[in-house]
Chains A and B, each alone.
Chain A
Amino acid sequence: MISKTAKLLRGLAHYFSRKSINGKLTLLTVTSSGVTLLVACLAFVSNDITVIRDSKVMQLTALGEVLASNSTAALSFDRSQAAEELLASLQNRPMVEYACILDNNGKLFAQYISDSQAHRPQLEVADRELGHQFTDDGHLEVILPIVEGGDVLGKICLYESLADLTAQLTRYAAIVAIVIVLSLLVAMLFSFRLQRAISAPILELATTAKRISTEGDYSVRVPRRSDDEIGVLYEQFNLMLEQIQHGEQSLHEARDKLEIRVMERTTQLEELHKQLLETARRAGMAEVATSVLHNVGNILNSVNVSADLIRERLRKSEVTDLNRALAILDDHKNDLATFVTENQKGKHLAPYLIAAGRTLQSERDNLFDLSKSLMENITHMKSIVAMQQSYTQVSGLTETLSMGELIDDVIEMHASSLQKYGIKLVRQYDDIPEVTIDKHRLVQILINLLKNAKESLMEKLGGDATLTIRLQKNGQDHMRIVVEDNGMGIHKEHLDKIFTYGFTTKEAGHGYGLHSCANLVGEMGGSLSRHSDGPNEGATFIIDLPIITADTTVISSQ
């Protein structure tokens, strides 16, 4: 029940909230005046009805009292005819439908039935209590005692229709309805006129607000016309508009400024970009230079060693002693035969010269070897420089070649030193068809890796040093070159940093070799990875490369 009421109230509130302000004001006026009127009318009508009912009761009671008083004699002397004649006087009061007189024993003594009634109503008057009552079927019933000289002789009952009262009530209802409807119409008329004082400024405000939101024109102002709350509302609205306008203006300014700043920034950034590009280019060149120096430096060591050896050989050369022997010979050129055969010194000269000749022969052979090695190294250096030049100038220059031969070529470069340090070389090549690849880069990478492996094996003390090189097919379109040594290995902590630029564990290292190797492999579309179980456990470097055959290659023109 409560929830139902609450629901109804909510529904009403919702309905009310959707109405326009004019509608609300009208509804307010009409509802309040309607309710007031209704209450007033109901009060008047109910009062009237009460008064009418009371007066009806009074009248009928008075009538009953007169009849009772007049009927005492008839009752006393058992003259029911006289009593009925008496009751017949009720004809003057048409609303009385029935009347009767009962004697002291409750027996019907006399009765009156109005002409309008066909028969007497079903009434058990005898059992009724004295007094009056309004029956459910719209009648007033008055029952009075008939008393004479203190003796109760019987009672009289009057039964009157309240049809006139009902008619009166209907009339009242009609009047109330008409009055309320007319009043409400008048109230609506008045409220239409009067509510404009409230609604018009609010509606104007609403219209203005709508226009502002659709047109975005914040320069509009509403003229204040009253000093009440609506006037305050107008003022605040104008103030708000001013603030918005101001805010928008500064927003515009900020936006314009921002555009300029963005342009400035863009210019700065472009400048910076240029600088960066320049820096990068220089850095690239520096890297190239470092690379060249590194690779050349590696070989330069060998060159240096060869040069030192040659110089040492030359310094200790037998040529000096030979010259001294030759000077002695020159002193004895006139008696050369005697000197050689008879002089103590001369006797030794011939065997010495023979020995010196042999020594010089061996010296020449040695120096020839050294110079040959020197030449080889210089040739390599030249090739490196050429390679670097080609790398810096022509990126991605590819050749179609056999991988096995390429690896063999690289091994050949290191062959002498490997042999020198007693490093055992193992090769395991899968059968891979000719591939198209940037030869110079790959050679560069392999040289570096082989050199590292060689150095690692050189440092390892004892045991049989083995360098294993594998060429494997990895899936359908990848190959893998594995350079494995059982040398000094890589410390676990260094595994992660090993490809980082500047990282090195060598005294004379730059930390550049492996870094450039990783870069080069990456540029070739492959990857370089490493593995080591720890110090003295050896190291494995794996180059993974895509297989690009001549058929699949789109040869890029340089």
Chain B
Amino acid sequence: MSAACCFAIAAAVSSPATAYSQDMGAVKEYKVKVAYIYNFARYIKWPKDAFADRESPFVIGILGDAPFGNTLQRVVESRKIRDRRIVVRHFAAPRDYESCQILFVTGTVDVEAQKEIVNLTKGMPVLIVGETANFASQGAGINFYHDIDDTIGFEINVDNLKRRHLMVDARLLKLARIVGDN
């Protein structure tokens, strides 16, 4: 179940005040996730062939509905990752996929589409970040989850990153829940 779905259902059944609160919580959650996605780029090293040339931007792709709107765009606009400017691209469906370094697969993308995009980018140096349960063991490099203390945690499939030639910083690993392929 996607967050947006949750949000929609919640919005439908809840009182306006609760709906507002829920809404604020969701906004905050996505703000955190946006920051996390940006921060992942710091602790993961892409192989050289991941970029066409020196001038190529660091592309963050988003597959599925992005409930955070232009937040990510705003966050990354003025920043750089490893001296590369950052470009945010939105893909409505796996077939729209274009080369990128991080691909955020939102909760609105169904399992079929997830599999499709995983297969599509197989072996490519692309960090797939998901927010769907068990996605980490089914092709995603990093997957968000709700921790017990109501913070947002993330799990890392080290094997997956290895297959995609992505080097992950130990400091990041320390913070993550390590998972493997199923």
Contacts and interface: CB of A to CB of B under 8 A. Distances in A.
A149 interface: yes
Interface string A140-168: 00000000110100000000000000000
B121 to A, nearest CB: 24
A79 interface: yes
B169 interface: yes
B174 A76 contact: no
Contacts of A78: 32, 151
Contacts of B154: 77
Contacts of A148: 42
A70 interface: yes
19 contacts: A72-B42, A72-B171, A73-B39, A73-B169, A73-B171, A73-B172, A74-B171, A74-B174, A76-B35, A76-B36, A76-B42, A77-B36, A77-B175, A78-B32, A78-B151, A82-B174, A149-B81, A149-B82, A151-B79
Interface in A70-89: 70, 72-74, 76-79, 82
Given A78-B32, A148-B42, A149-B42, A73 B175 contact: yes
A149 B81 CA distance: 8
Contacts of A79: 175
Interface residues of A, number: 12
Interface string A319-332: 00000000000000
Interface string B49-88: 0000000000000000000000000000001011000000
B43 interface: yes
Interface of A: 70, 72-74, 76-79, 82, 148-149, 151
A73 B42 CA distance: 9
A72 B42 CA distance: 10
Name the residue in A74, A149, A151 with the highest tally of chain B Cβ atoms < 10 Å from its Cβ: A149
Contact of B171 (A70, A149, A151): A70
Contacts of B174: 73-74, 82
A70 B154 CA distance: 18
Name the residue in A70, A72, A73 with the highest tally of chain B Cβ atoms < 10 Å from its Cβ: A73
Contacts of A151: 79
A149 B39 CA distance: 10
Interface in B1-57: 32, 35-36, 39, 42-43
B31 to A, nearest CB: 11
Contacts of B35: 76
A73 B151 CA distance: 15
Contacts of A72: 42, 171
Interface of B: 32, 35-36, 39, 42-43, 79, 81-82, 151, 154, 169, 171-172, 174-175
Given A148-B42, A149-B42, A74 B175 contact: yes
Nearest to B38: A76
Given A77-B172, A149-B82, 20 more contacts: A70-B171, A72-B42, A72-B171, A73-B39, A73-B169, A73-B171, A74-B171, A74-B175, A76-B35, A76-B36, A76-B42, A76-B43, A77-B36, A77-B39, A77-B154, A77-B175, A78-B151, A82-B174, A82-B175, A148-B42
Contacts of A76: 35-36, 39, 42-43
A149 B151 CA distance: 25
B28 to A, nearest CB: 12
A550 to B, nearest CB: 155
A335 to B, nearest CB: 222
Contacts of A74: 171, 174-175
A70 B42 CA distance: 13
Contacts of B36: 76-77
A82 B175 CA distance: 7
A73 B82 CA distance: 16
A66 to B, nearest CB: 12
Name the residue in A70, A76, A79, A82 with the highest tally of chain B Cβ atoms < 10 Å from its Cβ: A76
A82 B173 CA distance: 11
B60 to A, nearest CB: 15
Given A79-B175, A149-B81, A73 B32 contact: no
B103 to A, nearest CB: 19
A70 to B, nearest CB: 6
Nearest to A86: B174
Nearest to A70: B171
Contacts of B32: 78
Contacts of B175: 73-74, 77, 79, 82
Closest 6 CB pairs of A and B: A73-B171, A76-B39, A79-B175, A149-B42, A77-B175, A73-B172
A258 B79 CA distance: 126
A264 to B, nearest CB: 130
A88 to B, nearest CB: 13
Nearest to B171: A73
A149 B80 CA distance: 9
B62 to A, nearest CB: 20
Contacts of A70: 171
Nearest to A74: B175
A431 B32 CA distance: 161
Nearest to B147: A79
Contacts of B43: 73, 76
A279 to B, nearest CB: 145
A74 B39 CA distance: 11
A151 B174 CA distance: 21
